[in-house]
Amino acid sequence: METMVPATVVSLRGVSKSFPGVNALSDVDLDVHQGEVHGLVGKNGAGKSTLVRVLMGLHEPDSGSLEINGHRFSRITANEALAAGVAYVPQHVSMMDSLSVAENILAGEMPVGGLGLVDWEQVYAQAADRLGKLGLDLDVRKNVEGISVAEQTMLAIAQALFRRAKLIILDEPTASLPRIDIDRLFILIRSLKSQGVAIVFISHHLEEVFEICDRVTVLRDGRQIGTWPLSELDLARLTKVIVGENIHEYVRAVRERASDMAMQISGLTLGGFYEDVSIDIAKGEIVSVCGLQGSGAEALGERLFGLERRGIGAVRVGGKEYTARNPKEAFAQGVALLPQDRYRFGIVGLRPIRENITYSILDQLTGFLSLLKSVKERQLVKDFIEKLGIVTPSQNQSVRLLSGGNQQKVVFAKLACTRPRVLILHDPTQGIDVRAKLDIYRVIDDLSAQGIAILIISTEVRELVGVCDRILVMYEGRITKEFKRGDADTTPSNILLAIEGGHNAGQ
């Protein structure tokens, strides 16, 4: 009995695209089948974003062809791609936040009554009906700004389906989601797959690629290395194909804990967020606070940086009372934050890499008559570009034109060069490939060796075990467990159990 081959929704043949100084794609082929979840993976700068923009009609390829549902295009516009059923859901979903879920769903087709006024009951009923058919239980009357990141992503997917999308491109959809929301998203993806929708799944989380994808295509330096069924690969082999070499998890050298404290937190309490939090972080120590969304870990990091009020309790930095009420005061008192959302808080997208890295230390780069020491500035930026492996034709490249991972590296470089007493890192390797993660962790290690205390807010447990001196678990606003490096119970499985509420993990 012959096995039926699913229909091909999208087919690219021999696609190449170059930009000044960068050969972004070279003779790339890609087939995505109906009812398939197709992984697209590669290091930052591998060509994934360019390939997606070709699919969406935003970049015209230098050569090659594109077929969508059997229709061949030598070149395609964005409107033609949308009409052909290609939809894109970015990592950071952009919606009309001040409008309701229902208004976002029915934008442009709001039902009206006899007097030509919007029939709001019909708006809510139709929106709920559409979402219900996809198995999504969202409050359609609620403003989008009030729903979770995962719900916004699922709403964006639903919008694409309502516009009759045949291919949905999901770009790092799980990057900032806790496991419970990832599971919800994967239930929706599997439902769409059963309905024949084709999905391109872009992610640096390779475990999730194995969990949700049927096949995977690997790009490296703009070239297609190959396409494989996931059943023919394992994690080690896929990692080697992506990077071009064997990669091992980062394990930093063991150092003796310093006696001097960089930050001392005593009894910090803020109703609804955290309660009686006490942490001492020594100079050069790397400590992680991790927990599920809403556990208090994220709020602690942000509020220590002065983004919101901290609550009651005492905080000392470098032995002095820490009184910062906003980020400017936090910087002045020796605390810096690498934010989770680099787009809103980390970069100035229209400005070049050079300015993004150095604008926070311009006072250190000025000389006689306040003239900027451009040679010193350019050398500093060059060093960070090389150390972090930022893929760019020039340090004058606008940051918005970089891939997401390279943007994250620019933010990291900006903060690293300020040399704070305490550096708070919120998901420092989010959206970064396996090779670049090693670069980031080496820089973190270098900073700690210079006496800078590092506080990491993250749930990348397997990575944290090899990087941190201590891992503190928060559950329902309290620190419930401490794992020390080298102890027998400091294992990823025990830490994950504690994160999910198992207070006795490892005991």
Compute mean pLDDT per 10 residues along the chain, 507 residues long, and list them.
70 89 87 94 85 90 88 85 86 75 79 78 84 78 78 80 84 77 86 90 88 94 92 87 68 81 95 94 94 86 91 94 92 87 71 84 64 76 84 86 77 81 88 73 85 89 87 93 90 86 55
φ, ψ (nearest 5 deg) of residue 15: -80, 125
Q: Which helix (H) or strand (E) holds 98?
A: none
Neighbours of 228 (CB within 10 A): 16
- What's the rounded Cα separation, in Å, for the pair 335 and 443? 17
Residue 386 in contact with residue 345, Cβ under 8 Å?
no
Same fold, 8-243 and 261-499: yes
- The correct answer on CATH 2.60.40.10 for the domain covering 261-499 is no
CATH class of 8-243: alpha beta
Sheet holding 86-89, edge to edge: 71-73, 63-68, 8-19, 22-33, 223-229, 215-220, 37-41, 198-202, 167-171, 86-89
Res 266: pLDDT:
96
**Structural domain boundaries of the chain?**
8-243, 261-499
Q: What is the pTM of this model?
A: 0.66
Res 19: pLDDT:
84
